Amino acid sequence: MRITLAQLNYRVGDFEGNLSLIKRAVSKARGEGSDLVIFSELCITGYPPLDLLENINFLKKADRTLHNIAEECRGIAAVVGAPVINTSPEGKKLFNAAMVLSEGRIIFTARKALLPTYDIFDEYRYFEPGREFGIFEFKNKKIAITICEDLWDEQPDENYFGKSRLYTVSPADELAGLKPDLIINISASPFSYTRIRVRQDIFRGKALKHGIPVVMVNQTGANTELIFDGGSMAVKKDGTILHQLPFFEESVFTFDLDELASGNGSRETSVPGHTELIYKALLTGIRDYFGKSGFKKAVLGLSGGIDSAVVLCLAAEALGNENVTALMLPSRYSSKESVEDAVILANNIGVKYSIISIEEPFKAFEEILKPAFSGRQADVTEENIQARIRAVILMAWSNKFGNILLNTSNKSEAAVGYGTLYGDMAGGLSVIGDVYKTDVYRIAAFINRDKEIIPQQIITKAPSAELRPGQFDTDSLPPYSVLDEVLFRYIEQNKPADAIISEGFEKETVEKIVSMINSNEYKRYQAPPILRISSKAFGAGRRMPLVARF
């Protein structure tokens, strides 16, 4: 039997577009002599559809699209993911389902049993869990179908609590008892740089544990803040990954099922390094956020610092340098070198730029507020005014020319509130809001891997907001090498302060960082969408009360 893995980039709610993608893949697979083509979880609707699942017209269109695909499946079968109505009077109104389509009809349906509610997932809000497990016969093979989390019931957890068994039932165990020849898993598994190896190990472990080959198809592309890396794979029963599809690319790949038993075919493919994965993920996130929203052009504030430099390079690569504009907005505190460095970078990339001084509006605000602020020393208020003037100019440019404003704040800053609400936190998309400062430096080095694009002086100079004389980030924050280590443990690993201190970090430093994180939730609540590249991004993946005392 020949099987095709169809790793595609869907758009949520674009039924016509998704149908076209699926039909082309079916046609290609048929032309390659494939018997079965496999698509990803909820491919018909795009993932995640969220509250669109509560719209009856959305569900009707999904059903019509499903039947259109079934009509295409002549001389070939397909596994597709879609929501289906729960006809029982009990439970949620929908199932997250995988259907096998053949000769114009649905010949088998599997319902997702494990519905994640952690991190960015909230599937139990919409779906009823499947409670029955079965297999179907096709081309003299017995095949089991699972959906994403159904094979993630056992996983290592970097959370402080250390739980690995997340559910009370194991669909893989239930299905293995039925002696299938193959387990198929259709997934919509978002990218996280800490989970690529984990995902591989989970599917390898399931194949090895049950002595059954596993085939997984994951979607690629991005929808809003979620980025999907693809990485679909075919795993032998001994846990060897025989085929793995590319990361962050569409791919339609056909192979013989016998290869999983014989071992013929390509060997395991290597996984790109940590920084390269993040770089490719961010490019995908920018490209699809703009492309799927119907926008083409971006604008950002280029300060001469490393954060805006990295975002500019990413945007130019993702959108084309002709579609990106950099605004340099110096104040009386901006160093001559920062402006010069920004100009060199813009010229290196070939993007349009303008230099607009904020000195005159800043003076105007000082004059206007002088009576109200009489007798008070200048403080962070005046610093924030500068940041907000810049935001007004950037948003004016966005309005006038239709450019989306890219936010350039990093995760380290967002975590501790080192940013100005309605100032440098403004934007339509936060590009590196899930990237720690230490990783921003690594991305800069990756960008410069072949030649110097980002001037070396931008990378080596001490970080500064340049909002007052002699200001440096370390005036308010610990060194980023320390800060990021503490942040990772507190945010990603959910470790309490005392556990972090026990690892050798200074007590006063840890308590200060934790206090800053907890007291700045209100700022993050108002931030733009953040491209997610970690297992715990701010936004939908980390929901904290704004008013709390813990």
Q: List residues with catalytic annotation.
A: 41, 112, 148
Query: What whole-number distance in Å separates Cα of residue 296 and Cα of residue 420?
Result: 27
Strand ranges inside 153-262, DSSP E: 182-187, 214-218, 220-223, 226-229, 233-235, 241-244, 251-256
- Work out the number of other CB atoms within 10 angstroms of the CB of residue 405: 21
Query: What whole-number distance in Å separates Cα of residue 426 and Cα of residue 428?
Result: 7
Query: What whole-number distance in Å separates Cα of residue 442 and Cα of residue 477?
Result: 20
Contact 213, 234 (CB under 8 A): yes
Query: What whole-number distance in Å separates Cα of residue 528 and Cα of residue 344?
Result: 29
Contact 476, 465 (CB under 8 A): no
Give me the sign of the Cα torsion angle 156, 158, 159, 161: positive
Query: What whole-number distance in Å separates Cα of residue 130 and Cα of residue 31?
Result: 35
Read out DSSP for 59-101? Answer: HHHHHHHHHHHHHH-SSSEEEEEEEEE--SSSS-SEEEEEEEE
Query: What whole-number distance in Å separates Cα of residue 441 and Cα of residue 96?
Result: 41
Query: What whole-number distance in Å separates Cα of residue 390 and Cα of residue 388?
Result: 5
